[in-house]
Chain A
């Protein structure tokens, strides 16, 4: 019932109903499909894709999630990926620093 209300707000500018459990799940699934597409195309920041890349996924995502949610998820994706990258770099440095200390010992 509420999911019908939710999907009826096509533009998702303002939620015309409260997203219920299934509406939330639909939104998260659409988000994951879109982000999965970005990953496949090695795009970190949503919106930086060109042409028809991930267009269908993005449209679906924006249809099933409120604009505020899209904005939130997109920002969080960038932050998360940056954090992952920093952690990976730190781990790499630790790994490359390992043998030197090993030689010293």
Chain B
């Protein structure tokens, strides 16, 4: 589908460009006729003249149609039609190119996120409905994570604090475990305490966590048959996501991005948000 979409414009534009090029001689003469009305009478007999049979026919037809021969009229008509066709198709091609650009802009923003219901660090049901009307940062990790998760969560905390100051906007930081076998409510509660005071820690059943991770395109792998008491690490993707007040995905920030860089990007998105319309340039 995507391939088709990228192929069609090139196919189109070449076929379109080729067909008018065969019309070019007409187009040129027509343009000359149109731009300076004084030239046609002088120039008109000339193109019709050179061929012997042409001049003969011209003599025959002259009387019937006046200074304009049937051939010239036909030529004029064809040229006009050609021009009209050329501009019509060019216009269509331009529109298609424009449509395609906006389409890729929309396709470029992946569909990430979606509704979920998990359990927060106080053992209460926590649904993604709570993200509505607020900007949120979502991070997936696990409490036994050696160094990356705590670093990322610290970074997230810094961004939340500085955005609160600079934009008087309270981002909602959310940590979702991808190690539900070990990270029960108690573990998550103890873990989130170390980070930003408004950090929400979520856990759930393996199935609900898996579904949530899938919605957020988070890959994770726990060793097979892992028991809650085992000492293991969880492989997982390490992005954190910015979601807008409609719960729609805005951007993902990788590990290589420092807190200032993330902060700058988040600030720009906040500034692009149209509060009255409740949408940003990334909204569909």
Contact residues of A with B, CB < 8 Å? 2, 12-15, 17-21, 24, 28, 65-69, 72-73
Query: With A and B bound together, what is the CA distance between A72 and B231 in angstroms?
Result: 12
Could you say which of A13, A14, A18, A65 contacts B190, with CB atoms under 8 Å apart? A18
Q: Is the CB of A19 within 8 A of B144?
A: yes
Q: Is the CB of B194 within 8 A of A68?
A: no
Q: Is the CB of B144 within 8 A of A15?
A: yes
Query: With A and B bound together, what is the CA distance between A72 and B191 in angstroms?
Result: 20
Q: Is the CB of B233 within 8 A of A20?
A: no
Could you say which of B147, B194, B231 contacts A21, with CB atoms under 8 Å apart? B194
Chain A residues, CB < 8 A from B187: 18
Could you say which of A2, A18, A73 contacts B146, with CB atoms under 8 Å apart? A73
B232 CB within 8 Å of chain A: yes
Q: Is the CB of B191 within 8 A of A68?
A: no
Query: Nearest 5 A-B pairs (CB), nearest first?
Result: A14-B231, A21-B194, A69-B146, A68-B231, A18-B190
Q: Is the CB of A15 within 8 A of B231?
A: yes
Q: Is the interface of B mostly helix, strand, loop or mixed?
A: loop
Q: Is the CB of B229 within 8 A of A14?
A: yes
Q: Is the CB of B233 within 8 A of A18?
A: no
Given A2-B190, A73-B146, 10 other A-B contacts at CB below 8 A?
A: A14-B229, A17-B190, A18-B143, A18-B190, A18-B191, A66-B231, A68-B231, A69-B146, A72-B146, A72-B233
Closest to B189 in A: A18
Chain A residues, CB < 8 A from B147: 24, 28
Closest to B186 in A: A18
B123 CB within 8 Å of chain A: no
A–B Cβ pairs within 8 angstroms, 19 of them: A12-B231, A13-B231, A14-B230, A15-B144, A18-B143, A19-B144, A20-B190, A20-B191, A21-B194, A24-B147, A24-B150, A65-B146, A66-B144, A67-B231, A69-B146, A69-B233, A72-B146, A72-B233, A73-B146
Query: With A and B bound together, what is the CA distance between A15 and B145 in angstroms?
Result: 12
Closest to A66 in B: B231
B199 to chain A, nearest CB (A): 13
A35 to chain B, nearest CB (A): 13
Query: With A and B bound together, what is the CA distance between A18 and B179 in angstroms?
Result: 13
